[in-house]
Structure 1
Amino acid sequence: GAPPPPPARAGGWAGAGSPLLSPGEVRSKPMTVLQWEKLSMGKLAHTLWGDGGSDGGAKGAAGALEKLMEPGRAFEIDISALEGRFARPDPSARFRRAESDNSDRSTVGSADGGTPRARISLLEPKRSTSVGIVENKLRGALGGKPLRDAILEVDEALLTQDTLKMALSAVPTTAEQALLLAFQGEPSTLDRPEQLLRSLCGIPRLEGRILAMMFKAQLEPDMDELLQQVDSLKAACEAVQGSAELQALMQIVLHIGNALNAGTARGNAAGFRPSALLKLAEHKAADKKTTLLHYTVEVVQTNAPKVRRVTALLPTLAQAAPRLGLAQSRRISGQSRTISDNLGQS
Structure 2
Amino acid sequence: MAIPNKQVPEPPPPPTNPAKQKHQPPKAAGLAASSNLPPFNKGESGESSTGQGSTSAGTRNGQVKVKPLHRDKVNKNTGHSMAWDKIDGGSFRVDDDLMEALFGFVATNRKSPKRDNSSNSKNLSSIPPAQIFILDARKSQNMATVLKSLSISRNELLDALTNGHGLNADTLDKLMRIAPTKEEESQILEFSGNPTRLADAESFLFYLLKAVPSAFGRLSAMLFRSNYDAEILHFKESLQIVDSGCTELRNRGLFIKLLEAILKAGNSQAFNPTSLRKLSDVKSTDGKTTLLHFVVKEVVRSEGKRYVLNRNRSLSRNISQRSNSSSVISEISTSKEKREKEYMMLGLPAVGGLSARFSNVKKAALIDYDAFASTCSVLEARAREVRAFVSQCAAANGEGGFVKEMKGFLEAAEEELKSLTKEQTRVMELVKKTTEYYHAGASKDQEAHEIQLFATIKDFLYMVDQACVMLARNLQRKTPSSSIEPSPKSSRMPVRFPNLPERFMLEKSMSSSGESDSDFIIDTYQLSWKGEDLCT
> TM-score normalised to the size of structure 1?
0.49
- Of structures 1 and 2, the one with the larger relative CO (CA 8 A, separation 6+) is 1
Whose helix proportion is higher, 1 or 2?
2
> TM-score normalised to the size of structure 2?
0.34
